[in-house]
Structure 1
Amino acid sequence: MPPPLTYASYLDLEKLLSLQKPRSSPPEHDETLFIIIHQTYELWFKQLLYEFEKIKRDFSAGDLFGAIHTFKRVRTIMKVLVAQVDILETMTPSSFSSFRDRLETASGFQSVQFREIEFALGYKRASTVAYLKPDFPGYDRLQKLFHQRSVVDHFYDFLARRGAQIPADLKNRDVTRPNGPNEGVQKEILRLYKSTPECSILFELMTDFDEGLQEWR
């Protein structure tokens, strides 16, 4: 008989709490904070990507209230990501420099999950995929998202279900290209915003999320 499930075993805490491995020797005090902050970012990135898949399904199914609920969640996650910067800023430049050399070429710009978030939201660049080698961790996930419809593409489905006129070139576009603004779609969004109160709630949440993402970046 397997042992009873506990808080620690359910969350696999022994493994989780063993993943912080400072490279400085002896360990610099702030390096553990630096590692935990960035590991936490990656966990929240994972959750955002999980929620984006639900948003895609909500949009294509025309599930307005499902999309509203999920955008409330991702907006709140973005607030947490922004707030974590305040914790990171308690680390002084001198304390960071005390272990920066140990990081060698490692950089936050190498976060594949952040690139996945960009691709999921429609900001795709072939150069990003070309830069990575096939054996790079996360390469297959990024390739998959590169060839999938973005959240924006699924948003067009939602708008069409609400009677919006979506240009044919957007419906049949090359999904490996980045999404861009479209004046016709913007007019349809404004019309729905003014005429449908529940849609205005969704659109404002989407705007809040975008502002949070820009602030964090």
Structure 2
Amino acid sequence: MSITYTNYLKVDELLKLQQLKSSPAEHDETLFIIIHQTYELWFKQLLHEFGKLNRELKSANTWTAIKTLRRILTIMKTLVSQVDILETMTPLEFNSFRKFLGQSSGFQSLQFREIEILCGLRFPLMKDAHKDDEAHLKVLEQRMAEPTIWESFGEYLTQKGYPMVIERENEHGLLYNTSQANQDVLIEVMQNNAECAIVCELLVDFDEGLQEWRYRHVKMVQRTIGTKKGTGGSDGVKYLQKTLNHCVFPDLWEIRSKF
């Protein structure tokens, strides 16, 4: 069989994956499914790009690391913009099929947990949401053993002549405590190495983009279900609001006031 657009992209199979649970079928459930399936595809691409970014940083390849970070940032903007589409669905339209979702919840997104892990985050919910799925737990544990972006960045700067000491010191939030010694290194980098400084700023851009996505997600949930419990019994908005100010590269933020 020759390669065609349809069979290469598995279009026929793809278009059969939107299987509604509502009965009778509710119009907006199709949108809900497509948006979240699209998120998972972009999460897959982000994880793919994180792998490349870590390799480029560990090899001290500045410009390919920058190129990869720029792609990651563009994907993050796409994730944020997709919230606009979800917000065209009113609370009444969402509630017309919400009861059919059972115990499913965005908290159960394995790939988003992988993204958080590679960003250096750790908290009990990461495993709790997957405690009944051994395959998922194995994936999470494998990710937790991998270098984080911050660790790879520290190795990158060390190879550039700016030694960073990064130790895993926390298992109940962000893995790393802020470090005055590392902040001093980062200030020197920002003042004396323009290329490395670009990488620093792009990491801040990513951190800000992740916080922006969390904010838009929280407000979307809040306008859709208010303060009600989330699907699957989660705390919904109450929990999501706690995550809003979780920066993943705090030392890069701390140095802002020191110039």
TM-score with structure 1 setting the length: 0.91
What SS does the corresponding residue of 1:180 show, helix, strand or coil? coil
1:212 to 209, 213, 229: 209
2:226 aligned with 1:194:
no
Distance 1:192 1:82, change over 3 A: same
1:140 to 138, 149, 172: 138
1:45 to 23, 40, 43: 43
2:114 aligned with 1:124:
no
Distance 1:160 1:141, change over 3 A: same
1:179 to 170, 176, 179: 176
Report the number of matched residues.
212
Corresponding residue of 2:160: 162
Whichever residue aligns with residue 30 of structure 1, its letter is D
Corresponding residue of 2:17: 19
Whichever residue aligns with residue 188 of structure 2, its letter is R
Distance 1:161 1:11, change over 3 A: same
What SS does the corresponding residue of 1:138 show, helix, strand or coil? helix
* Aligned sequence identity (%): 46
Distance 1:95 1:44, change over 3 A: same
C-alpha separation in 2, matches of 1:118 and 1:29: 33
Whichever residue aligns with residue 9 of structure 1, its letter is N
CA contact (8 A) 2:53 2:68 kept: yes
Structure 1 stretches lacking a partner, 5+ long: none
How large is the RMSD of aligned CA atoms in angstroms?
A: 1.8
2:58 to 33, 36, 60: 60
What SS does the corresponding residue of 2:176 show, helix, strand or coil? coil
C-alpha separation in 2, matches of 1:86 and 1:18: 25
Structure 2 stretches lacking a partner, 5+ long: 215-259
C-alpha separation in 2, matches of 1:124 and 1:181: 16
1:153 to 151, 161, 167: 151
C-alpha separation in 1, matches of 2:115 and 2:136: 12
- 1:132: how far off? 2.5
1:148-175 Cα deviation digits (max 9, x unpaired):
22111111100101211323xx26x479
CA contact (8 A) 2:169 2:176 kept: no
1:72-128 Cα deviation digits (max 9, x unpaired):
000000000000000000000100000000001111111111110000111123552
TM-score with structure 2 setting the length: 0.77
C-alpha separation in 2, matches of 1:41 and 1:56: 22
CA contact (8 A) 1:75 1:212 kept: yes
C-alpha separation in 1, matches of 2:90 and 2:73: 29
C-alpha separation in 1, matches of 2:28 and 2:65: 39
- 1:137: how far off? 5.4
Moved more, 78-87 or 155-164: 155-164
